[in-house]
Amino acid sequence: MKLALFIAAVGSAAIAHAEFSAGFARVDITPPVGIQMVGYYHKNYDRRADGIMDPLHAECVAVSDGVSTALIYRVDHLHLQNVFLAKTIPAIISATGVPQDRIYIHSTHTHTGPAVCPNKDGYTDADNRLVAVYADFLVTRLVDVGRMAIADLVPSKIGVAKTECRGISFIRRYRMKDGSVKTNPRPNQEIECPLGTPDETLQVVRFKRIGAPDIAIVNFGTHPDTTSGRKISADWPGVVCDVFENGIGGGVKCMFLNAAQGDVNHLCRNPTPGRACLNEYRKKGTPTANAIAKYMGRAVAGAAMSVWDVCEEIPAGRVQGLSRKFSMPANLPTADELKWVEMFDAGRKDEIPLGWMEIMTITAPRSRVRTLKNGPDHFDICVSTVTIGDSLAFAGLPCEPFVDIGRDIKAQSPFKTTIVTCLTNGSEGYIPSTKAHHEGGYEGLSTRYAEPTGDKLVAAQVGQLKELFDAERNRREQ
């Protein structure tokens, strides 16, 4: 017993005196023209890329306490499905020795990225071959960038800052005057009010490195859905990194992590008089999709740069991670929804008492109503957490959480700074808040998770945050 206590004490002392370090790497992951793209529903699955608007990248920030290392990835992609990650994460573990609990892979949710999973029902054989080749390439690139980030580890200090980025993110769900709920309605007089308020908080983490360029992590949440079309693009998150790095200079490297964004985007359907927003920009002309992405990216980068020099230094500490699965209830179809699908299949769609977007949501070939007709009752969701000391945490959710879910996690987290990210280590679609589930609308109709899931997801993530926080505090008190 005495020997065990002595070893534990020595280990704790080693961590306490080990030097915290951070490393960065970036690789190009731009796919070939002609590959199928993901991001929108297209009849007959015909959305092949016909050009490159701007390159896609995968990035990795490695953090280490001298004993434990974690890898935080950002990938320019709509979402990386579980079947893809099932190949990728073991490959990263094998190449780097970093355990699964400390591998954190985030997709920015650009709607102009390539597919990485074959689609036997919709793609041609040639499409599927190209997608499979690209998927293998992407696995290799993610392994490469992880190894490169570890090789770049340099002693560092940590700083954090918080500000707001106003006028670019808006609730996209509205109560209409007829009592219905619509997502992205056309601007008209039938809108009563938005259902919620956006989270305009922007957070910055600064790794101030000794003898090497600093690393910035910028965290803000809204949909990257400005470019659309068939040109490959990282959308405005890519602009954030370019503008920030050029604006700060000195070789600084920037990673953008998208926060809770399931019910917000750049479209303001009921602008407030006198408040600057993208609507005012549009009045000056008809901006191209790329121009809107630049507008958004510059706004986010500008807000981040405004607090870069006043980041508050926080203590480093042990690097920890948790990645666990939690069972969540399935959103099984109702009798009415099953009846409406039957009516649609019989050519009676005009009799269905829903808007067109909602009708397509429940009747599409892979809709929730069709796929969950015979269950199951529950699904597993992977919740991922990486922490540094007792001041900084990364809280990853494998879905598109509504902004209130992100707010709740940050409010209940014991860490000084909690970076909430969507689409991390999985892709489970929309997770509305309980309130939003009751209100109705497209996202609630499409999600395969029942209404308590939002609250359960918050509890699961907060539980992991508290567990890691307590472990670090207990270690320090020994």
Q: Is the pLDDT of residue 16 over 50?
A: no
Backbone angles phi, psi at 172, to 5 degrees: -100, 0
Using CA atoms, how far apart are residues 158 and 392, in angstroms rounded to an integer?
A: 9
Cα separation, 471 vs 274, in Å, equals 49
Question: According to the model, what pLDDT value does residue 357 have?
Answer: 77
pLDDT at 407: 98
Q: How far apart are CA 108 and CA 91, in angstroms?
A: 21
Whether pLDDT at 22 is above 50 = yes
Distances (CA, A) of 257 to 61, 106, 216, 355, 372: 11, 7, 11, 33, 32
Is residue 92 within 8 A of residue 143, CB to CB? The reply is: yes
Pairing assessment for the beta strands 37-38 and 113-114 based on DSSP bridges: antiparallel
| Residue 86 neighbours by CB under 8 Å, 6+ apart | none
Which one has a higher pLDDT value, 131 or 281?
131
Tens digit of pLDDT for each residue in 394-421? 999 999 999 999 999 999 999 999 999 9
| Burial letters 7-21, b for 16+ CB under 10 A, else e | eeeeebeebeebebb
What is the token pair recorded at 415?
Answer: 């860490």
pLDDT at 46: 81
Phi and psi torsions of 110, nearest 5°: -65, 135
Structure confidence by residue, pLDDT tens digits, 329-364: 999 999 999 999 999 999 999 999 887 778 888 998
Question: What's residue 442's pLDDT?
Answer: 84
Q: Is 319 a residue whose pLDDT tops 70?
A: yes
In tens, the pLDDT along 58-82 reads 999 999 999 999 999 999 999 999 9
Task: Report whether 420 contacts 106 (CB < 8 A).
Answer: no
Residues 437, 468: Cα–Cα separation, whole Å: 31
